Structure 1
Amino acid sequence: MDARFAPVRVLEGCRPETLPLRRLLEEGVPTVLKGLVRDWGLVQAGLRSPQAAMDHLRRHYNGRPVQYNWGEPATAGRPFYNEDFTALNCQVRRGSLEQVLDELAALLDEPNPPTYYVASLPVDYCLPGLRADSDLDLAAHGVNAPPAIWIGNRVTASCHYDAPDNIACCAVGRRRFTLFPPEQIANLYPGPLDPTPGGQAISVVDFEHPDLVRYPRFAQALEAGQSVELEPGDAIFIPSMWWHHVQGLTPFTVLVNYWWGSMPAWIPTPMHALYHAMWAIRDRPEREKRAWREVFEYYVFGPSGRAGEHLPEQARGLLGPIDEVRARQLRAMLIQKLNR
């Protein structure tokens, strides 16, 4: 654990079949699930050696091309930006997983290797047999969350948030997770919305060497942060919207994660609303923004039934629950208005 941060809560004795998923979701607290996936075939192979883990992946690989990040040794395992934040410091390449594993194997003893990072690759797309002995089977808990796999060397995924809930399983190598609650967003100094190293805005603070003159509010984030080092077989539950900074600590690392949302498929990601609000509201005069803040509090951020509770049910329209039919109607209406 990084001594600058508080420890993350730990639950011992968890097994995939007894995963306390409802409790985790109700409490919404980052939680280490110690040894949750230690019996996975991939984990056991990695405990023997990095080569054994690579062989395990090769046996299940179906030959489909994969996309990965590659950076010069100067990137030091941190996919990030150039000096003026207008471009990324790494390249997106496409090739075979076999090739990536071969190149990683050749660099295991290299003290300053190029950065390799296969990120968020759907397991079912290229490793379809892997789930036979290395899967949480969240479907048994009523959750549809197909796994994704992350393969690389000592890579740092800079601090970011994800909208879905997440269980991340440390399969090969060790990883350090540092987490912050959603209200720390301003103290983490998010970077551009586009481009981004991985699809989400990231903190531009270098956690290893934070510049508190340039980013003074990061000192407040340090007081709110939590940190933990995961061993192979450990997992961590990361609640929706919690910021997390993930560091690979060994020459070969593999992580498998499961994302899932709390809403039905016909409810879109709030990111769409964020972009639209930035476009439609952000640059208005302050008096207008104050008024719109009250409107959003009434219709969106307050109790979900409040805005329509004084109306007959048949008159509530969008003020009532949004089902699949109403979602399609709303989508069509928005597309029509945006295309004017």
Structure 2
Amino acid sequence: MFDRLAKVRVFEGCTPDTLPLEQLLAEATPTVLPGLARDWSLVQAGLESPQSARDLLRSHYNGRPLQYNWGEPSTAGRPFYNADFTALNCEVRRGNLDQVLDELAACEHDPAPPTYYVASLLVDYCLPGLRGQNDLGLERHGVSAPPSIWIGNRVTASCHYDAPNNIACCAVGRRRFTLFPPEQVHNLYPGPLQPTPGGQAVSVVDFNAPDLERYPRFAEALEVGQTVVLEPGDAIFIPSMWWHHVQGLDPFTVLVNYWWSSMPAWVPTPMHALSLAMWSIRDRPEQEKRAWRELFEYYVFGPAARAGEHLPEQARGELAPFDEAAARRMRAALIAKLNR
């Protein structure tokens, strides 16, 4: 399947200092940044050996408890659903990083190991000091994005989207990224909104063996999909809302990523609006839904200033650009209405 996909765009020669972040955000195109993290001590330790990388992680670990996904060997590294999509095929366990690293080392050469996946662990929470020699320093570009770390074996994060922008750095082991633009949601067959393997709905298509009889529109997604295998030290920029399928290709893998929103912190995620719209609009008669679609086009999806431009500035209220004070008023008004 992967041979059929286009290659992801590549920007050569970028360093953390010269990262063209404004261009990446303006163009909103997935972009590989080869060697962006090649000088990290974690990358260099992993190139020496998986054990060296584990030792480096241990040296920064502060002993705090953490959660991780564990699955029987039958999960084959794919945290997913059970047969009827009512539960997950893996369990969430609590433990500590030393224990997880020990168990990963013990099954490193097992051809069918259990699945281990420490997902989206804030680096500063458990690994203080690691950022000293392992950080992109996005603050210099005006971005506040505390890094998260992902540790496991040959784990597949099924195709999903994230609302924030993302730079993912392949630190230890190789990873294959497969990406699709947001409009391909119609062809990717998202699973249930709850439960989910990782917080967002994921495609239920098995990318290693897609069943095109059951999921025929996936063939259309393949026509526009992009793919790349990242080596240790490589990074990839994934724009907001792009679907991405991530496969760990080696027995021990570590990834560090940076998520950030293009909006101020007082602007909530649109996921809240999506949930409310499903509740309040989706099941209405078609003629009502068409009318609401026009209202959303006018007030939300069209030019931001259009709905209020014919009114005096002092009369625009919610039609004017939001600031933090207006956001607080809107939040209070919505809570009051929903609690009636």
TM-score greater than 0.5 by the shorter chain: yes
Give the TM-score normalised by structure 2: 1.00
Aligned to 2:158: 158
Aligned to 2:76: 76
Runs of 4+ in 1 over 6 A off after TM superposition: none
Q: Measure, in 2, the Cα distance between the counterparts of 1:14 and 1:55.
A: 29
Q: Measure, in 1, the Cα distance between the counterparts of 2:180 and 2:325.
A: 37
Which digits, 9 at most, give the CA deviation of each residue in 1:18-60, with x for residues without a partner?
1110110011100000000000000000000000000000000
Within-5 A mapping of 1:79-228:
79-228=79-228
Which digits, 9 at most, give the CA deviation of each residue in 1:91-144, with x for residues without a partner?
000000000000001111100000000000000000011000000010011000
Unpaired segments ≥5 residues, structure 2 = none
Give the TM-score normalised by structure 1: 1.00
Which amino acid counterpart does residue 187 of structure 1 have in structure 2?
A: N
Residues 1:9 and 2:9 are matched in the alignment: yes
1:18 aligned counterpart, secondary structure: coil
Aligned to 1:271: 271
Q: Measure, in 1, the Cα distance between the counterparts of 2:140 and 2:124.
A: 18
Aligned to 1:307: 307
1:167 aligned counterpart, secondary structure: strand
Within-5 A mapping of 1:280-299:
280-299=280-299
Which amino acid counterpart does residue 109 of structure 1 have in structure 2?
A: H
Percent sequence identity over aligned pairs:
79
Q: Measure, in 1, the Cα distance between the counterparts of 2:224 and 2:68.
A: 33
Q: Measure, in 1, the Cα distance between the counterparts of 2:310 and 2:329.
A: 24
Q: Measure, in 2, the Cα distance between the counterparts of 1:48 and 1:176.
A: 21
Q: Measure, in 1, the Cα distance between the counterparts of 2:215 and 2:128.
A: 44
Which amino acid counterpart does residue 125 of structure 2 have in structure 1?
A: Y
Aligned to 1:238: 238
Q: Measure, in 2, the Cα distance between the counterparts of 1:123 and 1:2.
A: 32
Q: Measure, in 2, the Cα distance between the counterparts of 1:22 and 1:2.
A: 30
Q: Measure, in 1, the Cα distance between the counterparts of 2:15 and 2:22.
A: 14
Unpaired segments ≥5 residues, structure 1 = none
2:2 aligned counterpart, secondary structure: coil
Q: Measure, in 2, the Cα distance between the counterparts of 1:197 and 1:240.
A: 20
Which amino acid counterpart does residue 97 of structure 2 have in structure 1?
A: L
Deviation for aligned residue 1:209: 0.5
Q: Measure, in 2, the Cα distance between the counterparts of 1:117 and 1:4.
A: 29
Deviation for aligned residue 1:4: 1.7
Which digits, 9 at most, give the CA deviation of each residue in 1:217-239, with x for residues without a partner?
00000001000000000000000
Deviation for aligned residue 1:274: 0.1
Which amino acid counterpart does residue 202 of structure 1 have in structure 2?
A: V
Q: Measure, in 2, the Cα distance between the counterparts of 1:21 and 1:54.
A: 31
